[in-house]
Amino acid sequence: MEVQVFRVLILGEEEQGQNLYQVVCFVTRFNKVNFIPVDAMSKLRQRNPLAVREPEEERGREQLGMDLSVDLSRAEVISPHLAPLCKEGPHSTFAREADLRAWASAREKRN
């Protein structure tokens, strides 16, 4: 079970006294089976760099409800990369309860 992090920068309005940007992170489980390795994509581009690639199957949209806030001081149990990646948004990192439970049970099985 892998971790996928979406780090979003929301640009601010300087004229209104807002910060230049705000960082918001969303963390979710990611199934390795759905992952296409970088080297495979690179080989496809080398074969025909002008080709427009279409997915083999249409999976539609995926909507995830991030219902819990993540405490970055304890984020090491999810991923060692999470805290450094999202440190600019320490109170705006979110995950799904189901994912947090899955990571906790996976950790218990390892220990």
Q: What are the strands of the beta sheet with 2-11, ordered from one edge?
A: 2-11, 21-30, 93-95, 68-69
pLDDT digit string (tens) for 63-92? Answer: 889 999 999 999 988 999 999 999 998 899
Give this prediction's pTM. 0.75
Q: H helices then E strands: how many in the chain? A: 3, 4
Q: Whole-angstrom Cα distance, residue 71 to residue 94?
A: 9
Q: Enumerate residues 6+ apart whose C-beta is below 8 A from 97.
A: 67, 68
Q: What is the pLDDT of residue 1?
A: 64
Map residue 1 onto helix, strand or coil: coil
Q: What is the pLDDT of residue 2?
A: 86
Pick out the chain residues at pLDDT < 50.
none
Q: Hey, what are 29's tokens?
A: 């489980």
Q: What is the pLDDT of residue 8?
A: 95
